[in-house]
Amino acid sequence: MESILERDNLGAFCRHTHSAVKGIGAGPLAGLAFGAKDIYDIAGYKSGFGSPEWLATHEAAARTAPAVQRLLEAGAAMIGKTQTDELAFSLNGENPHYGTPVNVNAPGRIPGGSSSGSAAAVAGGLCDFALGSDTGGSVRAPASFCGIYGMRPTHGRVSLEGVCPLAPSFDTAGWFARDAGILERVGRVLLGEERAGAARRLLLAQDAFAIAGNAVAQALQPAVDRLSALLGEPQAVTVAEEGLPRWFEVFRLLQGAEIWAQHGGWVSRVKPHLGPGVKERMQWVATIDSREVGPAKVRREKIGRRMNELLAGGAVLALPTVPGIAPLRNTPAAETDEFRGRALSLLCIAGLARLPQASLPVARIDGCPIGLSIIAARGGDMMLLALAKALK
C-alpha cells in the first residue's frame, strides 16, 4: 500500500517520526483512516512534540496511547503522525523546524496550531479524521481556519495517558473531520457513549460576538438562524460581566504556570533552540510569580460556577470560534500577538470551565472559512455532536 508520505503534498504528516498501524477487526470505524498528532505515543516509536531536541532527548514509547488504541480497536487505521507546533505551544501552525502545513481552504494562510498537521490533513482529504489536542484552542482554532469540524471534549473525558502534556488542567484530546457524521462516530468511540441528551435552548454570547466584530457576526448569522430553527428563539447573554479579556488573563497565568511546571526543568537543562513566539512565551512563563497562582485558581472556580449556571438545563452557547479568518503566513509578530489575544479571549471560556466545545464549518469571509462554535455543560459532548450533525 502506498505510504501517506508519498501522497502528502501538504506537509501535514511527519517524516521524522512516521509510524502507521492497521486497524483491528471490523468495528464501528472500520474502513476509516486517521492521523494522530505527534504527541500521541505509538509503541516502539518516539513522539517528537514538534521539537528536534525533544525527539533527541526522549526514548521510544513502550505502549500506544489509550486514545489511539481505542480508535484502532474500533477498526480505524492510523496512517501517520501529523505535524504539531513546537511543544504544542502555539495557535499558528508555523513550525520553524518542520515547516507549515498547507491550508487548502485558505491558500497562503496558516492552518492554525498546535494541531496543524491534523487539521491540514483532514481539510486536504488525506485522511477521514485526525486526532489533535486542545489546551487553549488547538483543535477549535485550526478547525475554523481550515473549514472543518473540530471537537474539544469535556476535560478528562478522553484519556491523555501516553500523550505529551502541556498544561494538564486545560489539556484535552480532540478530533477533526470533514463530515459531521464521522465526527460523531469517532466521538462515540472515544467517549464510550452512544446516547445524547437533548439540547433545549440557545444562548448567544454577545460579548464574544462583539470581540469578533460585525463582519464575523454577519457571516455566522445564517448558521445561527439554522440553530434557532432547531432550538427556538435565542437569548442574548453576556458571558463575562468583567469582560472576556479578563478571563483570558486568568487562563494565560494558570496555563503558563502549568507549562513551566511541566517543562521548565527540561528547557533549563537542554536549552532548546525554540522558534519565534514559542521562545518568548517560554521565557515569560519562567517569570510567573507563584503567589499569583492561588488567586487565579479561585477566579477560575468562580468562572466555572458562572458557566455551570448559564448552561444548566440543556442550554447551548453559540459564539464565533475565533475572531476572524486564518491570518496570512509570516504575519508580523505584533499582528499575530494581537490576533492571538483576541482569539484566546473567546477560546478560554471552555478551557477555564472545562467544557466541551465543537467548531462547525458554516461560513466564509473573503473566500476563507470561519467557524461557529457551540458549547455545552460538562458531559454534554454527545449532545453537541448530535447538534452538529443535525445542523449540517
Euclidean distance between CA atoms 171 and 111, whole angstroms: 20
Which is catalytic among the residues 37, 46, 345, 373? 37
Euclidean distance between CA atoms 83 and 14, whole angstroms: 6
Strand ranges (E), the chain: 33-37, 77-82, 129-134, 149-152, 172-177, 201-205, 235-237, 315-320, 357-365, 368-375
* Concatenated DSSP letters of 19-71: --B---SS-TTTT-EEEEETTB--TTS---TT-HHHHHTSPPPSS--HHHHHH
End-to-end CA, the chain? 33
Which is catalytic among the residues 47, 115, 138, 345? 138
Distance (Å) of CA 359 to CA 93, 149, 249, 373, 387: 18, 6, 23, 4, 11
Active-site residue, 37 included: yes
Which is catalytic among the residues 19, 47, 90, 114? 114
User: Would you state the cell numbers that stand for residue 12, as one nine-digit string?
Assistant: 501535514
User: Would you state the cell numbers that stand for residue 349, as one nine-digit string?
Assistant: 471560556
User: Which amino acid is located at 221 in the chain?
Assistant: Q
Active-site residue, 279 included: no
Which residue in 70, 137, 71 sits closest to 359, CA to CA? 137
CB neighbour class for 351 (10 Å; exposed up to 12, middle 13-18, buried from 19): buried
Euclidean distance between CA atoms 52 and 322, whole angstroms: 30
Helix (H/G/I), strand (E/B), else coil: 369: strand
150 touches 369 (CB < 8 A): no
Active-site residue, 271 included: no
Residues linked to residue 363 through DSSP beta bridges, in sequence order: 370
Residues acting as catalytic residues: 37, 114, 138
